[in-house]
Structure 1
């Protein structure tokens, strides 16, 4: 979820709570104000009626409301003196409404010409359910107006304010350490964004220094280590061709040559891992994994024939991906070579290509390998002394560099490795 949308949700939730509490307080305050206003009006009407009684004594006979808003009943002096002005709410049937209607009334007493009377004055109330409904829709309208206002401000004002942040983010996404690109620059005078730009450039400079240092190291190591190893192997091979060499010494030299050759392959694998993890393979192009696998299989024709291994291609789709050609070749080569190297005589290999996945299955040891450690460096079958134990480590390093998922499974005496290329499928 985007930051702007999350802030919109939080603001809406806060406004909802604040407006909800405010509306309850507002309702009761409004209700009290209406009661006070009506009470003042009723009391004023009572005083006007008492003044009018002095000039029109017929009002004293108004003992029913009828069309008026008051009624008067004679009472004893004791009751009249015991009366206190009392305001209260009640329901009364009104002819004009043809229904019960809430009213506010005042019961009071007065004296006229030595006679005591009880007077009841009424005034219609705003119906409480109507008040609640009107208040509710007013609050809902206010909430909607506020949320719409926030959305407008969020999309047209805040988005513009946050443009420098998104500009920095987009530049970081496309920045490549192997290219001599300029530092990140934004057009903003906001202090926090300027600090973010400076921090991003500082981090980029440090990463670029580390990248160049590792690149230089791997290049130097590749040259400086490979050369002496090659010289050692060459010298030993020349020594092996000596006529005066004893058989025992020849066997020793041959073993040393094998060890040196293994050291050479181990060095190549470690340097390759360093380059992959250092992201030095950045050039990409559209590749058909089907064709890549077929070319690799043709390189192992003699080994397949020697171990009497049969292979099968199941090409549901032409699996085309966008990645570095060298890494694609290494990835498939490691998995295919692993399927051949760890297979049994008269075994089989099956390569499956779907619209998104590449699966290689092979016969071999009749037991499952540990899926938690199989991709670890130097994890290998101890009976295979010529193995460096880095083939699958290189494979998963390549997959990680492209955010690909590689899985191992064992079923029906078949060891299977499956890679999902959904992240880097080429657009056909």
Structure 2
């Protein structure tokens, strides 16, 4: 399964949001810690002030001290040694509102007029605690609003900022080396996109120039080779017709003649491969396969008959491929000749088609090489005199036509299947 791809703005937005989230959490933690420290200092100062006020009240009006609900004073015989003020948080229910609130309590021992007292004073800490807890409650809604804003801005900017980039990608996707296309620049103030357009235009010109040179070289070589090959073939044919040749000489000359024929075919096939690579077959349309298959069955009928083979067809009249008609003829011809060439003599070759596929089946011995390499160029059996390019060309035709050509062994049958790709359906 192909890994899903994301736009650069989406990736940048995600990384920015993750960074912002971490920043918010760190900031909230620091604020929470600072708020706690300030809250503790404020409460301690206020409780200490209240304790001093209680001490003065004990000294002047000791009978009124227990009337205060914010202080509890208890006489003690002695003060524990090295005692330091103790702070505790406690929850008290308000009598009027019936609401539980948090209070901070300070416990200390004091000596007033020679008497020892245990003093407990309390101060409401509810507001400060709520303020401290509200830090996270405030931070998260702010982060959510910021995240939504970033997503919306990225969505809006993706069409504006990346418009030239998408235009360049579209130009690249539509580029066809066989057509002389001039690159249409799109106005942009982004330096990187402007540079990308310049580089693509230069690359387009360089590829076009190299392609024309290679095409010219290939065509010239193919053409120039045919002339000496034709001369050699004619001379060899004249030698073969000489009645003064003995059997040994005739056999050697026949070998030379066969190799000349192979070399001539090789030049033609390599030229064909170059044309397929360069996508010179661009007349793509819906082509029904039944008529073409039947036509080529008739063409190879004599060849099959010489090997005592029968060809049986079961074809769907509505079956079609989106392909250049010329390429489809080459594809069918190569697969059909391959089936006839490697079929067991006296057997039957089956050709079947359905809505989405065409199958060619022939009986024959197992392959002498790895089946996974059957579509490689120059792959052939040890005793084969073929060039080993027919199946490679067939595979190449399917690849550029969004078709899938596959091979499998089923019992004694060799099965070649052509199926539609996703875009070819």
TM range (shorter): 0.7 to 0.9
Who is 1:421 aligned against?
Answer: 420
Residues 46 and 313 of structure 1, relative CA distance in 2, 3 Å threshold = farther
Deviation at 1:54, TM superposition (A): 7.3
Residues 363 and 84 of structure 1, relative CA distance in 2, 3 Å threshold = closer
Mapping of residues 271-286 of structure 1, within 5 Å? 271-286=271-286
Instruction: Work out whether residues 311 and 350 of structure 1, in 8 Å CA contact, stay in contact via their aligned partners in 2.
Output: yes
Who is 2:16 aligned against?
Answer: 11
Residues 320 and 42 of structure 1, relative CA distance in 2, 3 Å threshold = farther
Do structure 1's residue 222 and structure 2's residue 210 form an aligned pair?
A: no
Residues 128 and 326 of structure 1, relative CA distance in 2, 3 Å threshold = farther
CA offset digits 1:50-105 (Å, max 9, x no partner)? 5666776542233xx6xx222223345x5399764443323446545768754201
Who is 2:71 aligned against?
Answer: 70
Who is 2:337 aligned against?
Answer: 337
Who is 1:353 aligned against?
Answer: 353
Deviation at 1:278, TM superposition (A): 3.3
Q: How far apart in 2 are the matches of 1:239 and 1:81?
A: 131
Deviation at 1:336, TM superposition (A): 1.2
Residues 17 and 159 of structure 1, relative CA distance in 2, 3 Å threshold = farther
Residues 332 and 369 of structure 1, relative CA distance in 2, 3 Å threshold = farther
Instruction: Work out whether residues 308 and 347 of structure 1, in 8 Å CA contact, stay in contact via their aligned partners in 2.
Output: yes
State the secondary structure of the residue aligned to 2:89.
strand
Do structure 1's residue 308 and structure 2's residue 313 form an aligned pair?
A: no
Instruction: Work out whether residues 316 and 353 of structure 1, in 8 Å CA contact, stay in contact via their aligned partners in 2.
Output: yes
Who is 2:390 aligned against?
Answer: 391
Aligned residues: CA RMSD: 3.3
Mapping of residues 167-182 of structure 1, within 5 Å? 167-182=167-182
Instruction: Work out whether residues 322 and 424 of structure 1, in 8 Å CA contact, stay in contact via their aligned partners in 2.
Output: no
Residues 349 and 7 of structure 1, relative CA distance in 2, 3 Å threshold = farther
Who is 1:38 aligned against?
Answer: 43
CA offset digits 1:171-204 (Å, max 9, x no partner)? 1111112222113523112222222222222222
State the secondary structure of the residue aligned to 1:79.
coil
Deviation at 1:264, TM superposition (A): 1.2
Instruction: Work out whether residues 403 and 424 of structure 2, in 8 Å CA contact, stay in contact via their aligned partners in 1.
Output: no
Residues 126 and 329 of structure 1, relative CA distance in 2, 3 Å threshold = farther
State the secondary structure of the residue aligned to 1:187.
coil
Instruction: Work out whether residues 342 and 364 of structure 1, in 8 Å CA contact, stay in contact via their aligned partners in 2.
Output: yes
CA offset digits 1:277-298 (Å, max 9, x no partner)? 3333333222223333222212
Deviation at 1:235, TM superposition (A): 4.4
Q: How far apart in 2 are the matches of 1:196 and 1:260?
A: 50
Q: How far apart in 2 are the matches of 1:132 and 1:290?
A: 80
**Structure 2 unaligned blocks of 5 or more:** none
Instruction: Work out whether residues 367 and 413 of structure 1, in 8 Å CA contact, stay in contact via their aligned partners in 2.
Output: no
Residues 92 and 216 of structure 1, relative CA distance in 2, 3 Å threshold = same
Q: TM-score, normalised by structure 1?
A: 0.84
Q: How far apart in 2 are the matches of 1:184 and 1:139?
A: 49
Residues 372 and 51 of structure 1, relative CA distance in 2, 3 Å threshold = same
